[in-house]
Amino acid sequence: MPLSVSRAATLVLAVCAAAPLGACSTLDHAAHVATGLVSHQLCSATFVSGVDPARFRREALDPTLGPAGSLVRSHVDREHRQVTATLAGLAPSRAVYRGEGYGCLVVRDPPAPPLSPRVHRPAPSLLAPIAGADVVAPANAALAAAVDHEFEEPAHGPHRWTKAVVIVRDGRIIAERYAPGYGIDTPMTGWSMTKSVTNALMGVLVREGRVDMRQPAPISAWSDPADPRHRITPDNLLRMASGLDAGQSLTATATDAFDPTARMVFAERDMAAFAERAPAAGPPGAKWTYSNINTLLLSRIIRDQAGGDAAHVRAFADRELFDKLGMAHVTLEFDAVGDPIGASHMWAPARDWARFGLLYLGDGVVGGERILPEGWVDYSARLTPGSEHFGYGAGFWTNRGDSLAARTRVGAGMPADSFMAQGSYGQVAVVIPSARMVIVRMGMAYTPYGDLAATERLTREAVAAVKGL
């Protein structure tokens, strides 16, 4: 979920200095988006990933903040495991680390209920090991060249800052590489790749018979049949076709800090309650609009079905998904009321993102056990009407179907049956059934379109490189 807040910060300082207090409400929200972004992401990078916070701020946050970055002050408090941020002394934000598996939370009144220390005894993985304890050297020179290309920086910027590449074929890693300071077990933010994890958790609920994707979404605020939102289904939400007037989370612009989706994630205590208040702008299914608000509503459904709080959601995700895939280093972050931030805030090592991709490569079956309903993977990769310019399925971006996006990506060398979990700044897990491959790339790319051209090249070169193996 890209954010650019420099104009927002400038306007907050310039306008609020001269305006009556009440006129600054919207600008104040934008300023809190900026400081919430910095405190939350820097907290997670420090206490979840364990990377150098100064370098993370320089590479992952300052380019987003733009000129306003010099006005945003941040402080990492290792003793109390928290990060504070202000914008020119205004809009203070404090993010605290909540413990293993739960990550960080921006503190807002009233305080979130305390979490008991997580006790997790993982069940044996159903997925066979994908590699040993050492970094896997590329299986041939062509694969090595493909991986090296992904780590090359553009001659004149903007930066790519690739941190990890993992390539899996036939269930085993055949090439991987990490940037200095990152390694096999370093959790990295998936941004909107997290939406694909929400897809999987919804799939589990469907398999268990607890959710019907075609019936009205079980959201109590919309229970009145006279409410036009009552007709919105989980399928509409997963496909970004809810008809809600809910902002957009697709493109980075100078005014994104004013967008309701940014306010929801970085400036709201109860994110799903904020999402529930979005009005209907049109009938469900009539228009495709990519918005994090849709996915946070699915997060509320998952929370309610899993037991009503963060601990129950985390246990459900571990039991039904992460443990079965051997995803041992996942942090799923939550808001103050226990909803997973299922649009954008899961951190996991590149190998764990590859394990997740293997679930979809295997049609939802791992170790002989069906985790996702029969047909769910094809459903997820099926093109959503109205998204033809972008090629979106149901929680995944897809090259299937007749869309401009698919023609462009396939023309650049991505197989026509491939689909991908994709997040801001170049996070991607490409699933390629025809090549029996999963390709993961993680980093902080500020190149155009989240470095999509480099993803296309990496996929094209990697697929070509395995033909002789």
For every residue of 72-83, which 3-state class applies, written as one string? EEEEEECCCCEE
Residue 91, by phi and psi: left (phi above 0), alpha (psi -120 to 50) or beta? left
Q: Is the pLDDT reported for residue 290 higher than 80?
A: yes
Specify the range with the lowest mean pLDDT, choosing from 97-106, 353-362, 444-453. Answer: 444-453
Residue-level pLDDT at 8: 44
Residue-level pLDDT at 18: 40
Q: Is the pLDDT reported for residue 252 higher than 80?
A: no
pLDDT digits (tens, 9 = 90+) for 419-442: 999 999 999 999 999 999 999 999
Cα 166 to Cα 112, 174, 430, 438: the distances in Å are 37, 8, 11, 8
Residue-level pLDDT at 23: 46
Residue-level pLDDT at 66: 85
Given pLDDT bands bounded at 50, 70 and 90, which one contains residue 11?
Answer: very low
Q: Is the pLDDT reported for residue 251 higher than 70?
A: no
pLDDT digits (tens, 9 = 90+) for 328-366: 999 999 999 999 999 999 999 999 999 999 999 999 999
3-class DSSP assignment, residue 87: strand
Question: 128-186+349-469, superfamily in CATH?
Answer: DD-peptidase/beta-lactamase superfamily (3.40.710.10)
Q: Is the pLDDT reported for residue 20 higher than 90?
A: no
The set of residues, in sequence order, having a beta carbon less than 8 Å from that of 226 and lying 6+ positions away, is none
Specify the range with the lowest mean pLDDT, choosing from 28-32, 134-138, 168-172. Answer: 28-32
The pLDDT mean for the chain works out to 92
3-class DSSP assignment, residue 178: strand
Question: Do residues 197 and 356 make contact, with C-beta atoms less than 8 angstroms apart?
Answer: yes
Q: Would you tell me how many other CB atoms lie within 10 Å of the CB of residue 216? A: 18
Q: Is the pLDDT reported for residue 398 higher than 60?
A: yes
Cα(53)–Cα(469) distance, rounded to whole angstroms? 41
Token pair of 385 as six digits: 């009407």
Cα(368)–Cα(378) distance, rounded to whole angstroms? 19
3-class DSSP assignment, residue 43: helix
Residue-level pLDDT at 16: 43
Residue-level pLDDT at 257: 62
Given pLDDT bands bounded at 50, 70 and 90, which one contains residue 382?
Answer: very high
Question: Do residues 373 and 203 make contact, with C-beta atoms less than 8 angstroms apart?
Answer: yes
What 8-state DSSP symbol labels residue 227? Answer: S
- Cα atoms in the Cβ-side hemisphere of radius 13 Å centred on 458: 32
Q: What pTM value is reported for the model?
A: 0.94
What is the share, in percent, of the chain residues with pLDDT greater than 90?
Answer: 84
Residue-level pLDDT at 26: 62
Residue-level pLDDT at 69: 86
Strands ordered across the beta sheet of 346-348:
188-189, 346-348, 331-332
Radius of gyration for the alpha carbons in the chain, expressed in angstroms and rounded: 21
Residue-level pLDDT at 368: 97
382, 407, 406: which is closest to 396 by C-alpha? Answer: 382
| In the chain, ranges of CATH 3.40.710.10 domains | 128-186+349-469
Q: Is the pLDDT reported for residue 400 higher than 70?
A: yes
What is the share, in percent, of the chain residues with pLDDT greater than 70?
Answer: 93
Given pLDDT bands bounded at 50, 70 and 90, which one contains residue 448?
Answer: confident
pLDDT digits (tens, 9 = 90+) for 38-84: 999 999 999 999 999 999 999 999 998 888 889 999 999 999 999 99
